[in-house]
Amino acid sequence: MDFYLFLGTLAATIFTLLCSILYMVYGKIRVQENKIIASPPIMASSSSSLSLSLPSSSRSRNWEHDVFPSFHGPDVRKHFLSHIKKEFERKGITPFIDNNIERGESIGPELKRAIQESKIAIVLLSKNYASSSWCLDELVEIMSKVEGQKVLTIFYEVDPTDVKKQTGDFGKVFKKTCRGKTKKKIETWRKALEGVATIAGYHSRNWGDEAVMIQNIAVDISKMLNNLAPSPDLDRLIGMEGHMERMKPFLRLDSDEVRMIGIWGPPGIGKSTIARFLFNQLSNSFRLKAIMVNIKGNYPRPCLDEGDAQLQLQSKMLSQMINHKDIMITHLGVAQERLKDKEVLLILDDVDRSAQLDALAKNVGWFGPRSRIIITTENLKLLKAHGINHIYKVHFPSDDEALEMFCMYAFGLKSPKAGFMKLSHQVTFLAGNLPLGLKVMGSYFRGMSKYEWERVLPNLWSHLDGEIDTVLKFSYDTLCDGDKSIFLHIACFFNNEEIKKVEAHLANKFLNVRQRLDVLAQKSLISFDQDIIEMHSLLVQLGKEIVRKSYPEPRQRQFLVDDKDICQVLTDPTPITTSVVGICSTDTLTWFNLNVNERTFEEMSNLQFLRFKRDSEYPNMASLPGCLKHISPKLQLLDWKYSPMTCLPFTS
């Protein structure tokens, strides 16, 4: 008995020991995972740091001051500092003022708090800056800045190299201040000076006009503050964390190479939002940066003078990049000459023509090491033709993310209000998880009662919102006539059909059907899921809307896709034209007991596609079999489940 008791005790001890070991191993694995997930910002160079992450709480914290200026009063207070403060006042920039703080051997808690509560710290380095231990302690505090804070340097009548190495007159002053100080204190000051001297800034010896330079500095600070300001949309950027994680391999911020990255996807999916977010995250790490928005919309159409349009485009980009208004250029080589050795961040949003890329970023040789050029477009072929191989495809958000996006705009909450769950799911389904659709529809329904939702929702199933329609139709308008026609065929008949079947049905009407389908795919108007053609539900609605607007009278249209219009045409005694190529009915009840004349289809001599989407629940549409006896011999597709007919007797 004692032996078995011993074995039991031993087993329990071994089990406890194994659990402890497993817990320790698991803990180490979790620590390693956390280290990977929360990895520090990747260093792009010795003098700059680029990081890619979601906005932290520091971006939305309540800063007390826009700017904290660190300076040596006797050098700059009477002239430069007073002028720049006036310029700040004109631009609504609020600096911290330390007039009431008594200066001593070291800075006190009040000043430390002021530094921590300022969005931007401006270090105004002058020849006697290092003569003040107070200034040097301020600098140490600034260089250990809180997350989200930015540092700007101004070298006022002092050489950056002298600051970094503590040489020249600046070095002599510094050494004098170091007398009697501990080695630890001196080393702390040295590291702070070395760090601040490597931050890109302004050099007074390069100024032609101090007044102009003060204005430029104020403009740059104003832009920095704009970038730091939390966007009201940032709280609604559901799914952005996933986008940023997936984009890291494309951006490779740790690489010195010049990279062009494409962001590709259908209209309204959020390409521009991702690009703007990237610019917000990265712009303060680049001395030269520009974001060119809505290039497609701002480019002249038709473009009668391509060369002049390109020059204007490059001029706007350079003006923004080097902060010089209305730069005039005479040839497209100016950008390359000005930027070939510069580290730049350039966002080109909504590009749709190769001429635009030729004007703004012809090749990687136009830019200096570590530059990143990010292009958003709906046209995959355009990116590949420009030699861009790093292409991020933007996918639709998940159902949960789509519902959350919609609710943020509709309710200002991450989930539906009580009683609105089913309706909210219906709207997100209608929007097809397209972010633009979710935003527009959410904004549309915001503040409505449940009764109003129920009253309005049925209309949205047949009519697109104007803003969505405008965005989606832009891509359609760029197509040639043949590609437009194929787009309409897919929207009205061939969505979710096999590619081979679609090619077979359209081969007699169009040359190179597969090539045209590829064009639609490259422009993100359709996609291929293995062998199936898929078109987004909002694009399907767009196609049907285009058909409706083509002719006010349904009988004159190429396709009949609304059951009310179909019933009107088939029961109207007025002769039907030969325009109708296809009829697609979606509502069984509309056809139930419909009185259709036997010769209704006889005049539809060009009818090729006929589809009845109906259930076995309504097995009899008695009048249809008779009228189909006179249907056009051109008919290629008859999709009619539960048809009472065993054959289709065409007339000659």
Q: Which residues are catalytic?
A: 138
Q: Which helix (H) or strand (E) holds 520?
A: helix 513-522
> Edge-to-edge strand order for the sheet containing 201-203?
65-70, 118-125, 150-155, 201-203
Which residues on neighbouring strands pair with residue 373, listed in sequence order?
260, 346
In order, the DSSP letters of 535-587 are: --HHHHHHHHHHHHHH-SSGGGSSEE--HHHHHHHHH--SPP-S---EEEE--
CB 390 within 8 A of CB 382: no
> Edge-to-edge strand order for the sheet containing 637-640?
559-560, 582-585, 609-612, 637-640
- Buried b / exposed e along 378-390 (16+ C-beta atoms within 10 A): bbbebbeebebee
The gap between the terminal CA atoms of the chain, to the nearest Å, is 101
Q: Which helix (H) or strand (E) holds 261?
A: strand 259-264
Residue that is written with structure tokens 């059907």 in the block: 513
How far is residue 253's CA from residue 442's CA, in Å, rounded to a whole number? Answer: 36
How far is residue 200's CA from residue 535's CA, in Å, rounded to a whole number? Answer: 48
How far is residue 613's CA from residue 563's CA, in Å, rounded to a whole number? Answer: 11
In order, the DSSP letters of 585-631 are: E--HHHHTT----TTTTTT-TT--EEEE---TTS---THHHHHGGG-
Question: Which stretches within 349-465 are classed as H helix?
Answer: 354-360, 380-385, 399-410, 421-431, 435-445, 450-460
How far is residue 570's CA from residue 371's CA, in Å, rounded to a whole number? Answer: 63
CB 382 within 8 A of CB 240: no
